[in-house]
Amino acid sequence: MSMTVEELIAKAEQTQQLTEDELVLLLTDPAAAAPLYEAANRVREQYVGPQVELRGLIEFSNICKQNCLYCGLRRDNRQVPRYRLEAKMILDFGRRAAELGYKTLVLQSGEDDFFAPERLGPVLQELKNLGVALTLSIGEKSREEYAALRVAGADRYLLRIETTDKELYEKMDPGMSWDNRVRCLLDLKELGYEVGTGSLVGLPGQTIESLARDVLFFQKLDVDMVGIGPFIPNPDTPLAEAVGGTFDLACRMMALTRLLLPDANIPATTAMETLQPDGRMLALQRGANVVMPNVTDTDYRKMYMLYPGKICLNDAPADCRGCVTGKIHGIGRSVSQDQGFRRRRKSGGMN
Residues of the shown chain interacting with ligand SF4 in the complex, contacts defined by CB under 6 A: 64, 66, 68, 71, 73-74, 110-111, 139
Rounded-to-10 torsion of CA 321, 326, 331, 333: 60
Q: Which is nearer to ligand FES, 271 or 324 (CB)?
A: 324
Residues 130 and 44: their CA atoms lie apart, in Å, by 30
Q: Which is nearer to ligand 5AD, 57 or 91 (CB)?
A: 57
- Smallest gap, in angstroms, from Cβ of residue 208 to ligand FES? 31
How many CA atoms lie within 13 Å of 110's alpha carbon, on the beta-carbon side? 26
Give residues with Cβ within 8 angstroms of 322, minimum separation 6: none
Amino acid letter, 101: G
Q: Which is nearer to ligand FES, 203 or 328 (CB)?
A: 328
Q: Contact between 58 and ligand FES (CB under 6 A)?
A: no
Q: Contact between 200 and ligand 5AD (CB under 6 A)?
A: yes
Q: Which does 55 bind (CB under 5 to 8 A by kind): ligand 5AD, ligand FES, ligand SF4, none?
A: none
Q: Which does 12 bind (CB under 5 to 8 A by kind): ligand 5AD, ligand SF4, ligand FES, none?
A: none
Note whether 51 and 265 are within 8 A (CB).
no
Is residue 234 within a helix (H) or strand (E), and if so which, with residue range? Answer: none
Question: Which one among 217, 293, 295, 325 touches ligand FES, defined by CB under 6 A?
Answer: 293
Is residue 10 within a helix (H) or strand (E), and if so which, with residue range? Answer: helix 5-15
By CB under 6 A, the residues from 140 to 179 that bind ligand 5AD are 160, 162
Q: Which stretch binds ligand FES (CB under 6 A): 138-146, 157-165, 182-190, 312-320?
A: 312-320
Q: Which does 293 bind (CB under 5 to 8 A by kind): ligand FES, ligand SF4, ligand 5AD, none?
A: ligand FES
- Smallest gap, in angstroms, from Cβ of residue 261 to ligand SF4? 23
Question: Which one among 9, 71, 264, 281 touches ligand 5AD, defined by CB under 6 A?
Answer: 71
- If we measure between CA atoms, which residue out of 296, 329, 308 comes closest to residue 60? 296
Q: Contact between 271 and ligand FES (CB under 6 A)?
A: no
Q: Which does 315 bind (CB under 5 to 8 A by kind): ligand FES, ligand 5AD, ligand SF4, none?
A: ligand FES
Q: Contact between 60 and ligand 5AD (CB under 6 A)?
A: no
Q: Residue 52 forms beta bridges with which residues? A: 335
- If we measure between CA atoms, which residue out of 300, 303, 321, 288 comes closest to residue 51? 288
Give residues with Cβ within 8 angstroms of 96, minimum separation 6: 295, 317
Rounded-to-10 torsion of CA 270, 62, 115, 180: 70
- Smallest gap, in angstroms, from Cβ of residue 96 to ligand FES? 15
Residues 143 and 117: their CA atoms lie apart, in Å, by 12
Q: At what angle do helices 317-330 and 87-99 cross, to 10 degrees?
A: 30
Residues that bind ligand 5AD (CB under 6 A): 70-71, 160, 162, 200, 229, 231-232, 234, 271, 306-307
